[in-house]
Structure 1
């Protein structure tokens, strides 16, 4: 069960001592929050030194992006020391550029190697766009890199990522649920239902891609998705789970997968089919764009902090 740092590494350290998570993860919002904590000022200093070591011919914007990338790896290295595995996200600004995504991923793997973190202990997080999934396929098959496709809100993203052979996908359970509630949906939890379908589909058709459920709002969502390959759960929800009485078993099994009425489809070789299916899923379109905008905003804030120090 993966555990996600809430606002700073100290939260993960506390959770790691108590819950022994199998890995930790970062995203731009978490990094921006952690970077404001004085306890990690030394990591920012390292990023500034790195930025100053770069070629003076680089545009200032690119220099800041590379410094933020370096800082993400510094935080990731600290998480790796606590959990033994870490996921780090490619800047969402590259979400629609396959080549830039590949280049950023390879840079981060090299930066981790320089910190003594082996490639097989790093997952590179990439947005669930057509270009992102194609970049993930290349990184997986040509470089043996473990890729986690993130910002997943719809079946088309999950299926295409699985066809690409990536290691994991991260569907946002709570955010999917939030969107459907905002549309007036009552009865059942749509976030749980959609992620349940993703897990059952991937198992039914024998894909090796793991589902890593994320963005849990409450313990009930966790319990209803028990049996999912991996769960990224905040320390807050883990604490609430610990306080609940009674045991609960897996809801998602090989039997539930085979029983699921989910016809097989394919998108990996048909960009038009992927984009059309994605376009027809209003939740996926709206929430994916919202998540990328938010991450991009926090990335810029982080770069702003670095710019002030430079």
Structure 2
């Protein structure tokens, strides 16, 4: 019997659904799932989630929120409600993102993380099933360090460089999400090429570098490749701790019958030699980030993109509940 590429991959790597689409999660039954503002906005546009939105709005209103704070609280409640629904379908964890507008504010990020966890607790969800998702800015990494010290598990996202990965390891975060596809997109544009063979794919190579760096040094932080553009990229990282994959690519992997080869293992990592930076502080981290044009640009554009997605969700909710008209009145 021929096993699909997806089945073979699952024997090497933990597969995570990069989606807030409950029907897709139910179909593919991944161990874990990840969400972000763009995915939450997409889910909010689905008619089957109308009741969740109405319940979130009603809860926020009952809690006494009004005006702009009512919409912001509704978004947080909706995000957690979707996370709780996802957790009914999977055995593992769901990643829930802190408002990206707080990415450069350590204390505000910590406070928002605790608000989200308190909401999950209201719905009977244990803290160990939640990964608080935070952008890999210096301030975000320090927030994660403080949260991890209190037993809150974090997923550091928008990660594009080894210096970010090292800072996350030093902070003792649970998991990082290096973005494969966005790195590829940046290099294709910068170098004016249409494609790379997977062996030379800059995004794939970046995750491999981080993987080898971590395994050589017995770093406990898990690596979850994210933001894939093709199943070739996904299969190019077979053996990575985790891979978070969109439903359309999961469907392709389910139909693909090629033999999947292990690409990453701890044994392979011992033969690799990766650069070692001195222990990072704010100044050295910022200097390394600014020196890496790709990581610098993608981190900021990623934060901006997630802020924009949350603003779109805010607009959707305002229109949905006639809230703009209410303000004007």
Q: CA deviation at 1:25?
A: 1.3
Structure with the bigger RCO (C-alpha within 8 Å, sep 6+) is 2
Among 125, 142, 156, the alignment partner of 2:133 is 125
Q: CA deviation at 1:71?
A: 0.8
Matches within 5 A, 1:1-310: 1-6=14-19, 8-16=21-29, 21-55=30-64, 60-84=67-91, 85-141=93-149, 143-184=150-191, 188-268=200-280, 270-308=281-319, 309=321, 310=323
Give me the whole-angstrom Cα distance separating, in 2, the residues matched to 1:264 and 1:303.
43
CA contact (8 A) 2:211 2:240 kept: yes
Q: CA deviation at 1:61?
A: 2.7
TM-score normalised by length of structure 1: 0.93
CA contact (8 A) 2:163 2:277 kept: no
The 1:7–1:113 alpha-carbon spacing in structure 2 relative to 1, beyond 3 Å, is closer
**TM-superposition CA deviations, 1:37-87 (whole Å, max 9, x none):** 11011111111112212345x6x3333222211110000001111113211
> What stretches of structure 1 of length at least 5 have no aligned partner?
none
Q: Secondary structure at the match of 1:123?
A: strand
CA contact (8 A) 2:20 2:35 kept: no
Q: CA deviation at 1:156?
A: 1.1
Deviating more after overlay: 270-279 vs 283-292: 283-292
Give me the whole-angstrom Cα distance separating, in 1, the residues matched to 2:257 and 2:226.
23
Give me the whole-angstrom Cα distance separating, in 2, the residues matched to 1:119 and 1:156.
29
> What stretches of structure 2 of length at least 5 have no aligned partner?
1-13, 324-329
Equivalenced residue count is 302
TM-score normalised by length of structure 2: 0.88
